[in-house]
Homo-oligomer: A and B are copies of this chain.
Amino acid sequence: MKLYDYKQAPNPRRVRIFMAEKGIEIETVQVDLTKLEQHSDAFKKINPLGEVPTLQLDDGFCINQTNAICRYLEEIYPDNPLYGRTPQERAQVESQNHLIQINGIVAGGEAFRNSNPNFKNRALSGSHDYAQIPELAERGLLRIDNLFADLDKHFARQQFLVGDYFSVADITAFCTLGLTRWVKKAIPSECIHLQRWFDQVSSRPSSKA
């Protein structure tokens, strides 16, 4: 297998941390997004949407989208499950992971891509061009503030996003906090529970992946 990756981007990082948690090693190929290599003819044959991460299996079959890749890896490497251990826990992980994807990864992406001059006319990833909307960048920042407050309340009651079980949802949240730094949003000093969780996740060896 081969993972098409870009070290600086949040979504490939989600896959790398997932792999590290499970002890999986896969060859990675860097696709330099700053040089728009993801839109090259060569890479479009691997992923027509021009997005990383993409996982290429040994038979050439390609899997796109972060959760599709991670769920595939979860199936073929079932030890140390990160999508839950029981039907109810798996439902909670899916729910939390979806919420943090929408309110974290998507919201952070709105703030970043609608304000950074390098993303003019590329306000959304994928194969279509969309103009930046400055008000959407502003709303993204507001959503990040709300996310910090919501997560702080959550972590006042629970160790991780799903009780005391470290899951893929925590990985998504952790990579969201990497993304929010791109728009100069750090954990507010009053969010002590969110900071406690962040420090705890940061101390896991996988956080360096």
Contacts and interface: CB of A to CB of B under 8 A. Distances in A.
Interface residues of A, number: 36
Nearest to A138: B133
Contacts of A136: 133, 135-136
Contact of A65 (B71, B94, B146): B94
Given A98-B68, A142-B130, A63 B75 contact: no
Contacts of A126: 103
A88 interface: yes
Instruction: State the majority secondary structure of interface residues on A.
Output: helix
Contacts of A75: 87, 90
A71 B136 CA distance: 32
Contact of A90 (B61, B71, B131, B133): B71
A34 to B, nearest CB: 24
Given A135-B135, A142-B130, A88 B61 contact: yes
Interface in A68-127: 68-69, 71-72, 75-76, 87-88, 90-92, 94-95, 98-99, 102-103, 106, 124, 126
B99 A128 contact: no
Contact of A91 (B71, B98, B146): B71
Contacts of A57: 88
Given A71-B94, A75-B87, A124-B143, 5 more contacts: A63-B91, A63-B92, A65-B94, A68-B91, A128-B146
Interface of A: 57, 61, 63-65, 67-69, 71-72, 75-76, 87-88, 90-92, 94-95, 98-99, 102-103, 106, 124, 126, 128, 130-131, 133, 135-136, 139, 142-143, 146
